[in-house]
Structure 1
Amino acid sequence: MSKKILTIFGATGNQGGSTLSAVLNNPTLAAKYKIRAITRDPSKPSAQSLASRGAELAQADLNDIESVKKAIAGSHGVFAVTNYWETMDKNAELQQGKNIVDACKSEAVKHLVWSSLPHAEKLSNGELSKIEHFDSKAGVQEYAEQVKGDDLIVSYFMPAYFMSNLPTQIKASGEDGVATLSLPWNAASTWLPMIDIRNDTGLFTVGLFEAGERANGFAVQGTSQWLHPQELVDTLSAVSGKPVKFVEQPLTVEAAAQSGNKIAEELAQNMLLIRDYSYFGKGAENKQDESDKFLVDGAKKSSFKQFAEKTQWQF
């Protein structure tokens, strides 16, 4: 029996690379799926490394739907992720996502897994209206649900807060010489969903492909572990053998807007989304089991402790 082609956009990046590895590192899945890796430059060492692992290399321009159609032709499944920060234009990202959806329909792809995010403006009833890199991806999700029809399965992977953000956020020394994480969260009550993005993305995305029709329309909370900020720094203190503290940084929507810096305001509102809406929506911390049902069979997610143990911390 011939293998099913899984086409992976962003194959040299975090999410695409994890999806690729989840297949190629699992003999059962590697026997079932052939990987087509979409890269910008197949001649680069990172792309050639994928080829050496058995992936087929291809190129695509997300702004050119004909290019996308050519890249995914013959695919059973497509994993797609876009990068808002390249253009910082939510309409541009929305159009790229629509091109992927329309190309999948045109090329009779069976299953699209779209890297999405919650619609922050709608979750917050308009209060958090500046988190464009969330809302543009959510807009693609809404579009896909409108147009997918009966022949295309579409599932959604919504990655949580990256554990890999933390090494640059924890300052080497505060005023008292103690390493400090300072964000607008409550140390004991804010629920923070975190993901080891490189390790755990593929456990969810490939699990969605495996689930097939059962995953149609489902949006996975891509979370490795939910924890409070105090638990985070306590874990890091235990792993590093050095004291690490959390300091709550007062912040309001109005204060975030005063910076006049678009990126700063967007990221500040992102932190408020975590504090006030549990990132995925109020009460999302109680619903993680619904998403974990879609993990690849036998998969075990990373804990923050495991991530911390394999990470070099500069404090």
Structure 2
Amino acid sequence: MARIIAVCGATGNQGGSVAKLLLRYPDLYRVRALTRDPQSAAAQQLVQLGAEVVQADLTVTLNVKEALRGCWGVFGVTNFYDSKIKDDPGSEEQQGKNLVDAALDNGVECFVWSTLPSSEKLSGGRLISRVYEGKHHVDGYILEKNLPAVFLYTGNFYENLVYRSHMTYDRERDVLEFRQPIIKETTELAMLYVQKDLSAVTKAIFDHWDGRKDELNHQYLYVANARVAPRDVLASVKKLTGKEGTYHVIPTTGVPDRDIMFRLYNETGMYGIKVLPDENISKLGVEMHGVDDFVKEVLAPHLGLPLL
């Protein structure tokens, strides 16, 4: 019998990638897509693909508990851009804990949690971003409650080049313009192709859970292919399309906690000296994708640039 997987943020980038991949395997998984607005176009698209879409607000305890009823697995994520979190950053931690409590109450057997390490620890207390700390504190809560879980340290998303319009093409000048807040041209970020790799890693965890639970339980997986600087992205675009580009640093994201996060990247990098791709992801049989893959498959078509 197909197992029910609750997918948080199913109409967003992370959750959407997981939901769409699992929906391709109806003999194995039934997707329960959690969203605040089941009538949205993105939610209705998931219905057309075969998902059960349910209304769920992670700030409402009973709402979350009901949404997870009967679920074998959960993909859990909180969204800092959620208006409730932007207005109250402490809400992100509480949303995560509400999700953990609901998973415990419903006997969820495999909980996959998208998270980040402690910015306070990484920076020696100099740079504390609630974007990081809220998710990190939920890790501790999962361990305290002994919920069966796997932690995913996600990389910086290639998709933000498109979704946040970081890169544009000026046809009149025939030049690419890459604008990004705070990040220096030489800062190497651990990069993740969400639609291809976050979804594949999550499915692999669910696929292997029965046989490798003892190994996977409470393991941290670094879901990023490589460390890539903005200048490397521009070099990839030039190699594949022939187009030159310029990089511009924007002074702020407009959100103080995200500014701190990007300053942390400039000063400490992402994930220290961890070798990428993570050997433990390779053991799951997942082959990660890199900058050239994203440029060919998504960025160049988005910009209207033919490949060489």
Query: Structure 1 39/262 Cα, relative in aligned 2: closer, same or farther at 3 Å?
Result: closer
Superposed CA deviations along residues 37-92 of structure 1, whole A, max 9, x for unmatched, are 11223233322221222211222221121111111111110111112222222311
Name which of 27, 30, 33 aligns with 2:29: 33
Kindly state the Cα deviation for residue 180 of structure 1 after the two structures are TM-superposed: 4.8
Contact 1:47 1:57 (C-alpha < 8 Å) held by counterparts = yes
TM-score (norm 1): 0.82
Contact 2:225 2:276 (C-alpha < 8 Å) held by counterparts = no
Which residue is 1:169 aligned to?
166
Asked if 1:293 is matched to 2:282, the reply is yes
Residue 100 of structure 1 aligns to a residue whose secondary structure is helix
1:74-93 paired onto structure 2 within 5 Å? 74-85=70-81, 86=83, 87-88=85-86, 89-93=88-92
Residue 231 of structure 1 aligns to a residue whose secondary structure is helix
Name which of 39, 43, 57 aligns with 1:43: 39
Contact 2:115 2:136 (C-alpha < 8 Å) held by counterparts = yes
Which residue is 2:192 aligned to?
195
Name which of 247, 265, 286 aligns with 1:274: 265
**Which runs of 5 or more structure 1 residues have no equivalent in the other structure?**
none
Which residue is 2:224 aligned to?
223
Residue 288 of structure 1 aligns to a residue whose secondary structure is coil
Query: Structure 1 59/184 Cα, relative in aligned 2: closer, same or farther at 3 Å?
Result: closer
Amino acid at match of 1:90: P
Kindly state the Cα deviation for residue 291 of structure 1 after the two structures are TM-superposed: 4.2
What do you get for the CA RMSD once the two structures are aligned? 2.7
Which residue is 1:135 aligned to?
133
In the alignment, the residues of structure 1 paired with residue 232 and residue 59 of structure 2 have an alpha-carbon distance, to the nearest angstrom, of: 43
Superposed CA deviations along residues 182-207 of structure 1, whole A, max 9, x for unmatched, are 654363xx432111222322111122
Asked if 1:157 is matched to 2:152, the reply is yes
Kindly state the Cα deviation for residue 314 of structure 1 after the two structures are TM-superposed: 8.1
Which residue is 1:102 aligned to?
101
Superposed CA deviations along residues 131-157 of structure 1, whole A, max 9, x for unmatched, are 211211111111111112xxx311112
Which residue is 2:289 aligned to?
302
TM-score (norm 2): 0.83
Amino acid at match of 1:44: S
In the alignment, the residues of structure 2 paired with residue 41 and residue 186 of structure 1 have an alpha-carbon distance, to the nearest angstrom, of: 38
Kindly state the Cα deviation for residue 116 of structure 1 after the two structures are TM-superposed: 0.8
Residue 56 of structure 2 aligns to a residue whose secondary structure is coil
In the alignment, the residues of structure 2 paired with residue 170 and residue 262 of structure 1 have an alpha-carbon distance, to the nearest angstrom, of: 18
Contact 1:19 1:206 (C-alpha < 8 Å) held by counterparts = yes
Query: Structure 1 171/20 Cα, relative in aligned 2: closer, same or farther at 3 Å?
Result: closer
1:48-87 paired onto structure 2 within 5 Å? 48-85=44-81, 86=83, 87=85
> How many correspondences in the alignment?
289
Report the identity percentage: 29
In the alignment, the residues of structure 2 paired with residue 105 and residue 179 of structure 1 have an alpha-carbon distance, to the nearest angstrom, of: 49
In the alignment, the residues of structure 1 paired with residue 304 and residue 79 of structure 2 have an alpha-carbon distance, to the nearest angstrom, of: 28
Kindly state the Cα deviation for residue 241 of structure 1 after the two structures are TM-superposed: 1.7
Kindly state the Cα deviation for residue 271 of structure 1 after the two structures are TM-superposed: 2.3
Kindly state the Cα deviation for residue 6 of structure 1 after the two structures are TM-superposed: 0.8
